[in-house]
Amino acid sequence: MTECHYIGAVAYIILNFFESPLRIDSAVLAPPIVRPVVTALKAEPGEHILLYSTTGTGRDKLQEVLQKFAAQKFYIYGFDEDAEYENCIFKKRSTDGFLTDLAGARGVIASAGFSLISECMYLKKKMLLLPLAGQYEQIINAHYIQKLGLGISAEKLDEPIIARFLEELDKPMPGDESIFWPDNDKFFGILQNELKKLETPISIERPR
């Protein structure tokens, strides 16, 4: 879900991944968009789980929990370290490396930011989301990801929630019509349509 912070616009295009009622006539829902570098990726049904730590803290406790699932390999970003401890492979910051591992992941564990959710949806990766405390948008995102069958939401990462997530990964991705899958073409079509309604219509060329 994206937030709106400007009052008085002639139109509001709200990026969202689920159907939601609109309170004003000048608002229109649009699907998420993803970067060209993501649309160029080829999703593969990999064997590892990709984990991104927003805070980069609590490594020892995290490693202790993950190592209880010895048969599952975890690729871990956010600690700025290249190291391997049994089934835990820590990797330094790398945009290309992260995206490659995302495309080949079995599933993703992360906070509930809209951009990464959009990329996971585009690549059809189920998510275990840990919304940051006090981040209302992330709490809503995580709630709807679970409600729509796109993953699960949790307050903390522990052994029971990881076991539950591993079971969730064996279920097919949902086909609910209320889900707005990322669609760059549809978004730019909606944007162009709204720009044509202006007093001085504007035509745009979609970025490539």
The reported pLDDT for the residue numbered 9 is 77
Q: Across residues 99-104, what is the average pLDDT?
A: 97
* pLDDT tens string 27-40: 899 999 999 999 99
Angle between helices 114-122 and 136-147 (to 10 degrees): 20
* pLDDT tens string 81-101: 899 999 999 999 999 999 999
Read off the pTM: 0.89
Task: Give per-residue burial for 65-103: e unless 16+ CB within 10 Å, then b.
Answer: bbeebeebbbbbbbbeeeeeeebbbbbeeeeeebbebbb
* pLDDT tens string 120-170: 999 999 999 999 988 999 999 999 999 999 999 999 999 999 999 999 999
The reported pLDDT for the residue numbered 178 is 84
**Would you place residue 5 in the very low, low, confident or very high pLDDT band (cuts 50, 70, 90)?**
low
Phi, psi angle pair for 169, to nearest 5°:
-65, -20
The CATH H-level (homologous superfamily) assignment of domain 38-168 is Glycogen Phosphorylase B; (3.40.50.2000)
Amino acid of residue 122: Y
C-alpha 122/C-alpha 113 separation (Å) is 15
Q: Where are the domains of the chain?
A: 38-168
Do 60 and 76 touch, CB atoms closer than 8 A?
A: no
